[in-house]
Chains A and B, each alone.
Chain A
Amino acid sequence: MASLKDLRNRIASVKSTQKITSAMKMVAAAKLRRAQEQAEAARPYAERMDRMLGSLAASLQGRAGVSPMLAGTGDDRTHLLIAVTSDRGLCGGFNTAIVRRTRQMAAELTDAGKTVKILCVGRKGRDLLRRDWGDAIVGSYTDIGRRRLGFEDADAIAGKVTEMFEAGEFDVCTMIYNRFKSVISQIVTAQQLIPFALPESGAEESGAGASAAVYSYEPDEAEILADLLPRNLAVQVFRGLLESAASEHGARMSAMDNATRNAGDMIKDLTLTYNRTRQAQITKELIEIISGAEAL
């Protein structure tokens, strides 16, 4: 049986933990709102970019000498996986989900006889993947969006990816990130970035196909495409980063909410035990006094 003093100390420490977790929850909630706003603000750009690229790609379809970023290198031996995680922990299954998916994909690809390279975004992913896929990691980014996630961050990552692609270091690039669905649910998503996967909805196809025939281009298609593709890559990465940031704060918020609730339960239990022990002790002391008096 723990002594009263021990119990008191336990209660005090759980209480201070609860204070921290509830403060973290508030912070996460505030950050989440900002991240969500930012993600929403970035959406129009990505949508328009998709539309433009869709019509361009449709007009270039079947033509020879299309940029390999769009059409692929005609090979799929080397895969680059971009694992987007957070820098900090205490956000529930957020990082482990990404890492698990990355491991699984890497293992599948390796089993299929392909080479896997991993680019880590976020300190947690790097630390977790370093143990078993250390050799596959070709680079990592940390401290991204510490203050505010800017397009430059995405641009830097996309620049590196483009550089590697042009140097022929990989054939297929997939980004694995948490897509923000709601505060309590984030969906691990693997999105193929290179070669660019066109949206395959029928309406899109026919719409783009119909309008593509009459577009004029200034300068010509190929040149615009050469500009647009790396740009699109950066936009996609940016979108992934934003989604991931919103997911991180959402995950942290619900994790901290749980932790605060658990701490509350624990405090309740401990206080109960504490009071019972205290009462038992008082009773014991009384009995001792009474029996002492009676013995006289």
Chain B
Amino acid sequence: MADEKVEFELVSPERLLSSEAADMVVVPGAEGDFGVLPRHSLLISGVRTGVIQVWNDNAVTDRIFVAGGFCEVTGERCTVLAEEAVRVEDIDRDAIEAELKDLREDADDAKTPEERAAVEMRIATREAMLAAAA
């Protein structure tokens, strides 16, 4: 049992971000975080904005920030389709803070409510990203 692993795959629309074997993967599911161990039951779940943790040898070996998406779990595989994904250690705080500033200005300039909602959603994502990096 101990040598069994989950094939963890994380793909964003633009590339395959990660593909590795792990002891356990913790995914921020739409209805709460869940851990995926080998021989997990079949599951398809929504993913909310948060951090995916990859566990190996009782320690977190990889932390990846995702902004929404979907997750498919089978007995041997855990595939996450993320809308946006960044490794936590790759988050560039300064760049995001600058972007946040721009976005806040955009939010003030937004003319239609839809525009504003779209910008606000991006702001929320960026803030979550910062929180994850902290």
Tell me if A109 is interfacial: C-beta within 8 Å of chain B. Answer: no
Q: With the chains together, A231 CA to B70 CA distance in Å?
A: 10
Tell me if A290 is interfacial: C-beta within 8 Å of chain B. Answer: no
Q: Which residue in chain B gives the minimum CB-CB distance to A235?
A: B13
User: Number of A interface residues, CB 8 Å?
Assistant: 29
* From B16, B31, B41, B44, contact of A56 by CB (8 A): B44
* From B29, B41, B81, contact of A49 by CB (8 A): B81
The stretch from A171-179, A181-189, A217-225, A253-261 touching chain B is: A217-225
A44 CB contacts on chain B under 8 angstroms: 9, 11, 15-16
Q: Chain B residues in contact with chain A, CB under 8 A? A: 9, 11-16, 29-31, 41-46, 70, 72, 74, 79, 81, 83
A219 CB contacts on chain B under 8 angstroms: 30-31, 46
Q: Do A227 and B79 contact each other (CB < 8 Å), given the known contacts A150-B14, A235-B13? A: no
Q: Do A52 and B31 contact each other (CB < 8 Å), given the known contacts A42-B13, A228-B70, A238-B13? A: no
The stretch from A118-126, A192-200, A208-216, A264-272 touching chain B is: A208-216
User: Could you write out 5 A-B pairs with CB less than 8 Å apart?
Assistant: A42-B14, A44-B16, A52-B72, A218-B46, A224-B46
B9 CB contacts on chain A under 8 angstroms: 44, 48
B79 CB contacts on chain A under 8 angstroms: 48, 52
* From B16, B30, B83, contact of A41 by CB (8 A): B16
A215 CB contacts on chain B under 8 angstroms: 42-44
CB proximity of B23 to chain A, nearest CB, Å = 22
**B15/A214 in contact, CB under 8 A:** no
Tell me if A51 is interfacial: C-beta within 8 Å of chain B. Answer: yes
**A52/B81 in contact, CB under 8 A:** yes
**B31/A45 in contact, CB under 8 A:** no
**B14/A218 in contact, CB under 8 A:** no
Tell me if A38 is interfacial: C-beta within 8 Å of chain B. Answer: yes
Tell me if A141 is interfacial: C-beta within 8 Å of chain B. Answer: no
Q: Which residue in chain B gives the minimum CB-CB distance to A154?
A: B13
B12 CB contacts on chain A under 8 angstroms: 45, 151
Q: Do A218 and B43 contact each other (CB < 8 Å), given the known contacts A41-B15, A42-B13, A45-B12? A: yes
Tell me if A55 is interfacial: C-beta within 8 Å of chain B. Answer: yes
**B45/A218 in contact, CB under 8 A:** yes
A41 CB contacts on chain B under 8 angstroms: 14-16
Q: With the chains together, A224 CA to B29 CA distance in Å?
A: 12
CB proximity of B57 to chain A, nearest CB, Å = 27
**B13/A45 in contact, CB under 8 A:** yes
B70 CB contacts on chain A under 8 angstroms: 52, 224, 227-228, 231
B11 CB contacts on chain A under 8 angstroms: 44-45, 48
Q: With the chains together, A230 CA to B29 CA distance in Å?
A: 20
Sorted from nearest, which 6 A-B pairs have the closest CB atoms? A218-B45, A41-B15, A151-B13, A45-B11, A215-B42, A44-B16
